[in-house]
Amino acid sequence: MRFDRNRIADVTFGASALVTGLAVAAIFGFLFLFALPVFTGGQGLSILSGVWNPGRGQFGILPMLAASLCVALSALALGWPLALGLCCGIRGFLPRPIGRLLLMLLRGMTAFPTVVYGFAAIFLLVPIMREGLGRGSGLSWATAGLVLSLVILPTMALVMDAGMRQTERRLRLTGAALGFTREQTLTHLVLPACRKNLLAAAALGFGRAIGDTLIPLMLAGNAPQWPSAAWDSIRTLTAHIGLVLATDSNSAAYGSVFVAGCLLLLVNVTVQLCLRSLLRTGETA
């Protein structure tokens, strides 16, 4: 009886693992399959050129790739220090009641729907950005980056905090014995020990930022041009998919959607591989 249960459990868990693995394989397979006709068809590699003008038969989506990277990186550059700041505050820099409040706030923020940020930002942030930057329409790289940094912040902060809480507990006495204040323990002992955790949080945040659709679609302006300034209206790969999937399924524009999907997958794989190799070098060092 007990023996059987063990077997059943093993099989069940193995099967769920298999399902997960197959799902990933299927996602990659399907998207590559649907993107393939674009390359084998008439336009060939023109899809990877720099101009998007379907009226003239130009279907380059590289500006969108650049826009995706720009928006995600700027969101990360803003959001990561903020997340780190919040975690340090919670784990020692701020009075305990404030820290506890902030932690509650972060938990609550994970429940904030993305579309809520987008909806509120259209009416609050866009006019401010238009007047503040003095150029452009307010629908811009900067606007999307700002809101995205807020969107990815709680996930990053909670991942950081999970690591820091354990490390801090472990090192609190060590630090105290060395004559460190709580702040010094945090900056000199805990943070270096949590390096990997901070890195993983950054990768996670980047993934969420580059993968978000609604915020860029609603706030970045969606102009298919190369990003060059913060007030530029730009179109990310995700927004491109949302906008163009609606077109006729015969056109090259439609095919570009799947290429965009594949590019996003490739970015994701690259980030994961980089993260892994970084973590590994961290281990040997």
Residues 67-126 interacting with other proteins (rule: CB under 8 A): 81-86, 88-89, 93-94, 98, 102, 105, 107-124, 126
274 binds other proteins (CB under 8 A): no
In angstroms, the CA 237 to CA 213 distance is: 8
Report the nearest approach of other proteins to the CB of residue 26 (Å). 8
227 binds other proteins (CB under 8 A): no
259 binds other proteins (CB under 8 A): no
**Which segment (38-46, 168-176, 181-189, 277-285) binds other proteins by CB under 8 A?**
181-189
Q: Of the two residues 45 and 111, which places its CB atom closer to other proteins in the complex? A: 111
Site for other proteins in 15-44 (CB under 8 A): 15-17, 19-21, 23-27, 30-31, 33-34
283 binds other proteins (CB under 8 A): no
Site for other proteins in 43-62 (CB under 8 A): 51-56
Distances (CA, A) of 119 to 217, 218, 222, 279: 11, 8, 16, 38
Q: Which residue's structure tokens are 């163009």? A: 244
Residue 59, SS3?
strand
Exactly one of 46, 69, 166, 193 binds other proteins (CB under 8 A); that residue is 166
CB 35 within 8 A of CB 259: yes
174-211 exposure pattern, b = at least 16 Cβ within 10 A, e = fewer? ebeeeebeeeebbeebbbebbeebbebbbbbbbbbbbb
Closest CA to 190 of 115, 69, 93: 93
Report the nearest approach of other proteins to the CB of residue 149 (Å). 9
268 binds other proteins (CB under 8 A): yes
In angstroms, the CA 78 to CA 55 distance is: 37
Q: How many residues bind other proteins (CB under 8 A)?
A: 119
Exactly one of 64, 144, 171, 217 binds other proteins (CB under 8 A); that residue is 217
- The two tokens of residue 134 are 């003095």
